[in-house]
Amino acid sequence: MNYGLTGSEVLLTLIETAKMDIPFIDIHSHSANDNSGVITIQSFFLQELNPSISTYFTAAIHPWHVGMFSIEEVKAMLEKMTGHPGLIAIGETGLDKVCLSDYVHQKLIFALHIGFAERNNLPLIIHSVRSWNDMIGYLKKIRVPFIVHGYNSGREISRQLLHIGGYFSIGKAILNSTPRFIEEIKTIPLTSLFLETDESTAAIEEIYLEMSKIRGISLADLKYQVYENYNKLFPKFELKI
């Protein structure tokens, strides 16, 4: 039954319906979410990872925790994950000038994560707090794709990250955003965008809804675009919808 629609109108309707069935992808969360219609990529602190996990995940030593481990210990912990079928990216890892961890040690541990990601051809999930001067230097050199999680920086950093092919993941900051950040969000190409809940109790659906309003696109189109971005960045890790 086509209710008097033309062939191309039927096709368009089918495409729109299929887009609505695409899940909300939460690219970075520290908790599991069993809600139907949501696919959560859980991010583990490597020291807490249960290796029998059966869903897609990311893991790393967080910059906050690097002081707990020596270089050799981190190397061994990373190597243990080699070939794990659920490991889709390394992170979150990076640099944080606000936390108490020794900054030189942070850099050494970050470099280990980069090396492991490159050897295993896995993207990186980046944590960067007040460390952009150093971070941009690292990101310019890495040979795997990366997502900057919890992104909330300004025009100049966005420009530099885009120039080197970075992806941006935006989280709860969008729910209480300043006019300046809203303007910034509008300039990030939709093809470079992910959304996340991180540690927040906000629902990923809320974050998508806010983004769809700011960008003036439908929720279905936004979900479809993030799904496309996921498939581009993680071609080996197909989502089972």
Binding site for Zn ion (CB under 5 A): 92, 198
Q: CB of residue 14 vs Zn ion: minimum separation in angstroms?
A: 37
Cβ of residue 194: shortest distance to Zn ion, in angstroms?
13
Which residue lies nearer to Zn ion by CB, 30 or 84? 30
The H or E element that residue 61 is part of is none
129 and 82 Cβ atoms separated by less than 8 Å: no
Q: Rounded to an integer, what distance in angstroms lies between the CA atom of residue 135 and that of residue 122?
A: 18
Taking the complex as a whole, how short is the minimal distance between the CB of residue 211 and Zn ion, in angstroms? 18
Residue ranges in the chain assigned as alpha helix (H): 7-21, 71-80, 103-119, 132-141, 155-163, 179-187, 204-215, 219-233
Closest contact distance (angstroms) between CB of 127 and Zn ion is: 7
Measured from the CB atom, the residue of 22 and 171 that comes closer to Zn ion is: 171
22 vs 66, which CB is nearer to Zn ion?
66
* Alpha-carbon span 106 to 104, nearest angstrom: 5
Nearest approach in angstroms of CB 92 to Zn ion is 5
Q: Which long-range contacts (CB under 8 A, 24 or more apart) does 32-35 make?
A: 33/197, 33/204
Number of Cβ within 10 Å of residue 193's Cβ equals: 21
Which residues have C-beta within 8 Å of that of residue 220, sequence separation ≥ 6?
Answer: 16, 19, 20, 22
